[in-house]
A = this chain, B = another copy of it.
Amino acid sequence: MSTAVSPLAPTRVPELPPVAGVRLATAAAGIRYQGRTDVLLAVLDKGTSVAGVLTRSKCPSAPVEWCRTRLKAGRARALVVNSGNANAFTGRTGRAATRLTADLAAKAAGCRPNEVFLASTGVIGEPLDASRFAGVMDGLVADADADRWRDAAQAIMTTDTFPKVATARVRLGAATVTINGIAKGAGMIAPDMATMLAFVFTDAPIAAPALQALIGRAVVDTFNAVTVDGDTSTSDTLLAFATGAAAARGAPRIARAGDPRLAAFRKALEALLADLAEQIARDGEGARKLVEVVVEGAVSKRSARRIALSIANSPLVKTALAGEDANWGRVVMAVGKAGEPADRDRLSIWFGDTRVAHRGARDPGYDEAEVSAYMKRPEIRLRVGLGLGRSRDRVLTCDLTKEYVAINGDYRS
Contacts and interface: CB of A to CB of B under 8 A. Distances in A.
A26 interface: no
A372 to B, nearest CB: 8
B125 A319 contact: no
Contacts of A330: 124, 188, 192, 231
Interface in A326-369: 327-330, 332-345, 347, 357, 359-362
Interface string A29-65: 0000000000000000000000000011111100000
Contact of A231 (B314, B344, B404): B314
B56 A229 contact: no
Contacts of A320: 408-409
A58 B192 contact: no
A60 B336 contact: yes
A263 to B, nearest CB: 35
Nearest to A233: B333
Contact of A315 (B56, B192, B229, B338): B229
A334 B125 CA distance: 14
A378 to B, nearest CB: 15
A129 to B, nearest CB: 14
B408 A319 contact: yes
A255 to B, nearest CB: 34
Q: Is the interface of A mostly helix, strand, loop or mixed?
A: loop
A324 interface: yes
A300 interface: no
B124 A333 contact: yes
The number of times this chain is found in the oligomer is: 2
B323 A412 contact: yes
Interface stretch (A86-94, A209-217, A271-279): A86-94
A412 B315 contact: no
Nearest to A59: B336
B333 A231 contact: yes
Contact of A402 (B88, B328, B406): B406
Interface string A375-413: 000000000000000000000000111101110111111
B329 A88 contact: yes
Given A316-B231, A360-B89, A362-B126, A333 B408 contact: no
Contacts of A324: 412-413
Interface in A53-101: 55-60, 86, 88-94
23 contacts: A58-B338, A58-B341, A59-B335, A59-B342, A89-B362, A90-B362, A91-B359, A93-B361, A94-B361, A124-B329, A125-B329, A125-B362, A192-B327, A192-B330, A229-B316, A231-B315, A231-B316, A315-B315, A320-B408, A323-B408, A323-B412, A324-B413, A402-B406
Interface of A: 55-60, 86, 88-94, 123-126, 188, 192, 194, 229-234, 314-316, 319-325, 327-330, 332-345, 347, 357, 359-362, 399-402, 404-406, 408-413
The 4 closest A-B pairs by CB, nearest first: A124-B329, A91-B361, A57-B336, A59-B336
